[in-house]
Structure 1
Amino acid sequence: MVKFEAFAVEQWMDKYETLAKYNIAETCCASISLNDLKELSDDKKSVPLDLSTKLTYGAIRGSKQLRGNLAGLYSEKTTPLPLDNILITAGAIQANFLLLYTLVGPGDHVICHYPTYQQLYSVPESIGAEVSLWKSKEENGWNVDVDELKSLIRPNTKLIILNNPQNPTGSVISRKTLEEIVAVSREKSIIIHADEVYRPLFHSTATDDELPPSLLSLGYEHTVVTGSMSKAYSLAGIRVGWIASRDRALIEACASARDYTTISVGGIDDAIASHALAPSCVHSLLKRNIELCRTNLAILETFIESHRWACDWVKPRAGTTAFVRFSRDGKPVDDTAFCEMLLEKTGVMFVPGAQCFGRDGDFTGYVRVGYVNDTSVIREGLEAVKSFMKNEYEKVPLAKQ
């Protein structure tokens, strides 16, 4: 029997998100309706959904329109990506699972960018692979060290997993570093997987090097990426994700594995995603979300700066999440107790870092903040946190050493 480690962040979200008054743990850009989507489109005559469409299984691998729109996004300034090199899935979480289930097994070694979404290292472990965590360091701006990557590689290393932009820190692996990772991998014929669900929310990058291309753009055949409509595109409710690769055989293997799970993505979901990613709509949607990122991040930064006596961070450069460290008298607080007390007293929901992202005591005192919700939520929620910091923070226990 396959044994899965408890998926800590998803269990935390499931337990508390319906109870929160201010959900500042949410990682999606503020969700939109079909009416919102229609208004964002330059083509006012088109509709997100044709109500006369028969509800069959639809296109098994995803409609040509949807895969074509995605191929267009992945083909900018690089070799065009064929439609058949994209497989539509039920969200990025299924895309990641199928990919890992297909690629690795007992006896394989996997290197995973860390901290990150737990699925990316727990699934390979659950099916018998050895996993080494390639740790980004806060003191280095949450950047990774390619020399350290080289030291982690073994003769049986099958896969290197990246998360770019990174959840929970909001850091970015630059073009230069990606190119170095590709060079190392090419030498050993190692597959690289990049979870790019927060791409292209590059809202605070200063140079072109800090604004990296998709991993698929770097000319290495053994690359594969996953993405979804949930984070950058505000449409978590339609449950549409994808796997895209320069390696057609890899896509075929994932498609074969998917036959044992979902036959297809729902036709309604496919149609809505197709509309959102069409050239007439996608640019307006992304502009809306990047502006929301910048507006809300400024509000969060003001809070951080006014509470430097208790918290610190590396300001995120992309994505929707920030990793904030809380301490008292120079010692980290118990982040789980802090989040539970904050929710009880104010209705504000954060995610505890050590419980949901750490191993072996990593990230004690950290919380993940999701700041790209409706601006009123982040503004009012942080006002409630300010009150907590003034009146209740001294009661938060310190972390046990």
Structure 2
Amino acid sequence: MNIPRIELFEWLQNNHERAEFVLAYSKMKGLSKREYDELVQYDLGPELDLGRGDPHGADEFKQILMEIYGCEINNIVTTSGGTQANFLVFLSTLKKKDEFIIEQPGYQPMWLTPKTMAARKIPWLRRFEDGFRLDVDALEELITDRTKLIVLTNPNNPTGVVADRELEIKKIAEIAQAKGIYVLIDEIFLDGAADPQVSAFGLPNVIITSSMTKVYGLGGQRTAWIIASPEIAAECQRAKAHANGSSSYVGELMTAYALRNARNHLVQRFMKHSRSNFKVLSKWMDANQDIVEWVQPNGGVMCFPKYRVNMSSTELCHKLLDDHGVMVNPGEYFNMDGHIRLGYACSEDVLRGGLDALGNGLRELGSD
């Protein structure tokens, strides 16, 4: 089995501690235990069996997911984080020599993980000049007899661009259904879209994954889910038995009550922070059009600006970190060089300091 390196993860893990300004992450600051207690008002209780696990997930967790998605219990697989959720879908839908169509730029694990199944990547380009929108008309030309899966993130990671459920995703789902292909949509950022969005679950042949990490600030619980047809959900459940058997029962309980008692509060917490930081970022972008150009995001806490320096994004990001203390992500890791992924989930002070350092670095390197 070929297990490829995920360069994005290695870059983040190996370098964030030496950065003065980290503008590389895309997740909301975690809730403190005090914040959880105040917002959720749920106590695990002194008699909870901490040795308990359930391969099929906590009933309380599945019940709230059924209410949110309007699905049945046999549509749900609970997992240990979004990465595992996507892995189980890939494992259940792809095999050697199958093809999968993947948006580019895109989230690196979404095309590297299928390599472990020896599946073949077919890139589907989102163009900067088109606002990184999905080119639905180009999709059918990419489909062959070997195509088994179409892979998307919505909002798109790294651009933050939201795909419209009716105008774009529905058409993709109908094309997929006609060809007997599944569509995997990672909706981990969807509740953080600028305008409220409806999940794509319920559209034909669509599989949804999501988790509590990016918007909700509860990534440490390692709770996530797959929402799929009963047939695909059953395959993913069988695959889960080979991965970790059972997810965190305690994490699923805490997540269930967070979603039931405080979902709106947690989304509002995210939106207040993201909108405030977006104003700072947007003002900086407008003032620095000589060194950067962007497509404004409308979801999540990230964007994917194009820079005006004659240098690979990997070399650029190393220089920005080494010489200016600011950490952003190379566009190469999202399969589109000439760009950087900039995350603005940090504090406003870090964002302002990081943007100043980024501007100084880009101007210095652009004048060399």
User: For the superposition of Structure 1 and Structure 2, which TM-score range results when normalised by the shorter chain?
Assistant: over 0.9
Alignment of 1:2-401 (within 5 A): 2-41=1-40, 44=41, 46-47=42-43, 49-75=44-70, 81-175=71-165, 176-203=167-194, 205=195, 212-218=197-203, 220=204, 222-245=205-228, 247-278=229-260, 280-328=261-309, 332-354=310-332, 356-358=333-335, 363-389=336-362, 392-394=364-366
Distance 1:389 1:155, change over 3 A: closer
Q: Determine the C-alpha separation between the residues in 2 that align with 1:154 and 1:385.
A: 43
Deviations 1:170-229 (A, max 9, x none): 0111121111111111211211111111111111x4xxxxx54212133x2x22111111
Equivalent pair of 2:190/2:197 in contact (CA under 8 Å): no
Give the SS at the match of 2:111. helix
Judge conservation of contact 2:76–2:226 (CA < 8 Å) in 1. yes
* Deviations 1:254-280, CA, capped at 9 Å, x for gaps: 1111111112122222222122211x2
Q: Percent identity?
A: 28
Q: CA deviation at 1:51?
A: 4.3
Distance 1:265 1:230 in 2: 15
Shift of 1:379: 2.5
Matched position secondary structure for 2:226: strand
Does the CA contact (< 8 Å) of 1:326 and 1:333 recur in 2?
no
Per the alignment, in what secondary structure is the counterpart of residue 231 of structure 1?
A: coil
Distance 1:37 1:105 in 2: 42
Which 5+ residue runs of structure 1 have no aligned equivalent? 76-80, 206-210, 397-401
Shift of 1:20: 2.0
Letter in 2 for 1:241: A
Q: Deviations over 1:98-126 (max 9, x none)?
A: 11011110132211122111221122233
**In 1: Cα distance, 2:252 partner to 2:46 partner:** 13
Q: Structure 1 residue 382: deviation in Å?
A: 2.0
Give, as a single letter, the amino acid of the residue that structure 1 aligns with 2:13: D
Unaligned runs of 5+ in 2: none
Answer yes or no: is the 8 Å Cα contact 1:333–1:364 preserved in 2. no
Q: Distance in 1 between matches of 2:21 and 2:63?
A: 38
Q: Give 1 or 2: higher helix fraction.
A: 2
TM-score, normalised on structure 1? 0.87
1: CA distance between counterparts of 2:17 and 2:4?
Answer: 24
- Cα offset, 1:252, TM superposition: 1.1
SS of 2:4's equivalent in the other structure is coil
- Could you tell me which amino acid in structure 2 is paired with residue 52 of structure 1? E
Distance 1:106 1:379, change over 3 A: same
Task: Report the TM-score, using the length of structure 2 for normalisation.
Answer: 0.94
